Amino acid sequence: MDQKSGHAAAVVGLQWGDEGKGKLVDLLAGKYRAVVRYNGGANAGHSVVVGGERYSLHLVPSGILSPNCEAIIGNGVVVDPLRLLEEIEMLRSRGVDTSRLVVSDRAHVVMPYHKAEDAAREELLSVATEGTQSDATKKVVSAIGTTKRGIGPAYADKIHRSTAIRIGDLTRPEILRTKLDMICGLKNAVLGAMIGEGFEPFDAETMTNDMIECGKLLAPMIKDTAYLLDDLRKAGQPILFEGANATMLDVDHGTYPFVTSSNSSALGIGAGSGVPPQCISQIIGVVKAYSTRVGGGPMPTELFDATGEDIRKRGREFGTTTGRPRRVGWLDLVAVKYSAMISGATELCITLLDVLAGEPELKIATAYRVDGQTTDRFLPDGYLLDQAEPVYETLPGFSQDITMARTFEELPPNAQAYIKKIESFVGVPVGMISVGPDRVQTIVRDAVYAATT
């Protein structure tokens, strides 16, 4: 698994998030000089288990747990400074060296009014759609089920420009105060109308002081990360990009409108980091051995029965960020093949395969039926996808505990066949298989890995 000098790779989710990206990034980080987040914010929840210790990371790149790795928050991330400081404190209190953390001066700031607006919009949407005609329409014209971390409103302000605050602004008190006077006036008017009774207006002076304090604490970490990454590349140092959220949640290519607000596929890497796309030679698409989704939106293979409940329990499918139970379903290869195309996956890592042990049969969606027609093409339009019925192929299950398997050959034949089916359908080799949350519970197929690096 040694990396060629100057090599840049990425770990990207190919489903609806929570594929085990954090575990994989942590596993690989030791071979890289820097791990870089390029999108999303504290909506991400990346769990890493090292030596039995579990860390839940939301903003800090998972590379922080590897001693020689710089952990870089790129310009494409929306940063909630209070949450970031809490996370840094949590890591320091557990003995992790956080001096290797760097934040882009151009990353946008998630402000308290963004979180208020995120929650208020979700609430208003739920109420506004209560009277919608049919149950089918209600299901797709509804709140998104966001994490309420202020992600959408912060990215909206980035696009508005005049009402945006960037990390660099936290170190410019006079400019910050002037901007916040203007912005708070505007936000108070809008949010006051949205929330109505009980709304507590934001005070520009208090907010400025709080943010200046955050700026002072973050100042040593704030840098121009585009130049920093260019310097690392020129010095021949390998870099790993850590995708947050996932390809199915990409604002342009995911199941819109039930998506997040950033380019969370591999397509976001260039814009979110300043590293040009041709520099990235390896894109590892992470695929959970079944499907999960948190929040609203279509999910053709969703299970509502005891099998779904079993998988949820065995996979501990409760959100790292919000604690919400995750929706669970069979593996949807129509979706995965589409995501592999959009993100340009050069290899796959199949995770949580151990969770499927004990299922007598394993179903895989290989096509959809829509309006009496069968198609093997994914339907990224959220409203169209809601009409799709999955067409399944059924494979025999395996009953053995595979959490101790460390080579492909140690997997039971039916588990091997399941992996081979994924590989042949998607047309991308499976380089790694994860059989448990710990770093060591991973099968690395060196032949595949060597061919793609």
Answer with the entry of Mg ion, ligand GDP, ligand IMO, none that 149 interacts with (C-beta below 5 to 8 A by kind): ligand IMO
Helix (H, G, I), strand (E, B) or coil at 18: coil
Instruction: For the segment 27-46, give every residue that binds ligand IMO (CB under 6 A).
Output: 43-46
Which of 7, 26, 46, 438 does the annotation list as catalytic? 46
Q: Is 253 annotated in the active site?
A: no
The answer to whether 247 contacts ligand GDP (rule: CB under 6 A) is no
- Backbone φ and ψ of 33, nearest 5°: -85, -25
Nearest one of 156, 188, 168, 167 to 80, comparing CA atoms:
167
Q: Is 7 annotated in the active site?
A: no
The answer to whether 75 contacts ligand IMO (rule: CB under 6 A) is no
Rounded Cα–Cα distance for residues 427 and 348 (Å): 10
Give the per-residue contact string, 338-367, with ligand GDP (x = CB under 6 A; - = no): -------------xx-xx------------
Rounded Cα–Cα distance for residues 351 and 437 (Å): 9
Beta strand pairing call for 101-104 and 70-73? parallel
In the list 3, 16, 39, 45, the residue contacting ligand GDP (rule: CB under 6 A) is 45
Answer with the entry of ligand GDP, Mg ion, ligand IMO, none that 385 interacts with (C-beta below 5 to 8 A by kind): none
Query: What region, left, alpha or beta, does residue 384 occupy, with left being phi > 0 and alpha being psi -120 to 50 degrees?
Result: alpha
Q: How far is the CB of 297 from ligand IMO (least distance, A)?
A: 6
Rounded Cα–Cα distance for residues 128 and 126 (Å): 6
Judged on CB neighbours under 10 Å (0-12, 13-18, 19+), 231 is: exposed
Size of the site for ligand GDP (CB under 6 A): 22
The answer to whether 115 contacts ligand IMO (rule: CB under 6 A) is no
The answer to whether 13 contacts ligand IMO (rule: CB under 6 A) is yes
Q: How far is the CB of 251 from ligand IMO (least distance, A)?
A: 10
Helix (H, G, I), strand (E, B) or coil at 210: helix
| Residue among 43 and 142 whose Cβ is closer to ligand IMO | 43
Rounded Cα–Cα distance for residues 330 and 338 (Å): 16
Q: How far is the CB of 140 from ligand GDP (least distance, A)?
A: 25
In the list 19, 70, 169, 250, the residue contacting ligand GDP (rule: CB under 6 A) is 19
Yes or no: say if 32 and 71 are a contact pair by the CB < 8 Å rule: no
Yes or no: say if 289 and 21 are a contact pair by the CB < 8 Å rule: no
Q: How far is the CB of 229 from ligand GDP (least distance, A)?
A: 22
Q: Please report the beta strands in 105-189, taking only residues with DSSP state E, as ranges in sequence order.
A: 108-109
In the list 6, 30, 49, 156, the residue contacting ligand GDP (rule: CB under 6 A) is 49
The answer to whether 45 contacts Mg ion (rule: CB under 5 A) is yes
Q: How far is the CB of 94 from ligand GDP (least distance, A)?
A: 16
Q: How far is the CB of 372 from ligand IMO (least distance, A)?
A: 30
Which of 7, 18, 108, 118 does the annotation list as catalytic? 18
In the list 299, 434, 443, 453, the residue contacting ligand GDP (rule: CB under 6 A) is 434
Instruction: For the segment 80-99, give every residue that binds ligand GDP (CB under 6 A).
Output: none
In the list 23, 37, 114, 337, the residue contacting ligand GDP (rule: CB under 6 A) is 23
In the list 8, 20, 187, 295, the residue contacting ligand GDP (rule: CB under 6 A) is 20
Instruction: For the segment 119-178, give every residue that binds ligand IMO (CB under 6 A).
Output: 144-147, 149, 151-152
Q: How far is the CB of 109 from ligand IMO (least distance, A)?
A: 16
CA distances from 213 to 78, 209, 295, 323, 345 (A): 18, 6, 34, 30, 42
The answer to whether 320 contacts Mg ion (rule: CB under 5 A) is yes
Instruction: Give the CB-side neighbour count of residue 167, counting CA atoms within 13 A.
Output: 27
CB atoms within 10 A of CB 355: 24
Output the CA torsion sign for 350, 352, 357, 361.
Answer: negative
Judged on CB neighbours under 10 Å (0-12, 13-18, 19+), 273 is: buried
Answer with the entry of Mg ion, ligand IMO, ligand GDP, none that 453 interacts with (C-beta below 5 to 8 A by kind): none
- Backbone φ and ψ of 105, nearest 5°: -65, -15
Rounded Cα–Cα distance for residues 63 and 72 (Å): 9
Yes or no: say if 63 and 70 are a contact pair by the CB < 8 Å rule: yes
The residue range among 10-18, 310-318, 359-367, 372-380 that interacts with ligand IMO, by the rule CB under 6 A, is 10-18
Q: Which residues bind ligand IMO (CB under 6 A)?
A: 13, 16-18, 43-46, 144-147, 149, 151-152, 244-246, 249, 260-261, 294-295, 320
Q: Which residues bind Mg ion (CB under 5 A)?
A: 18, 45, 320
Q: Annotated active-site positions, please? A: 18, 46
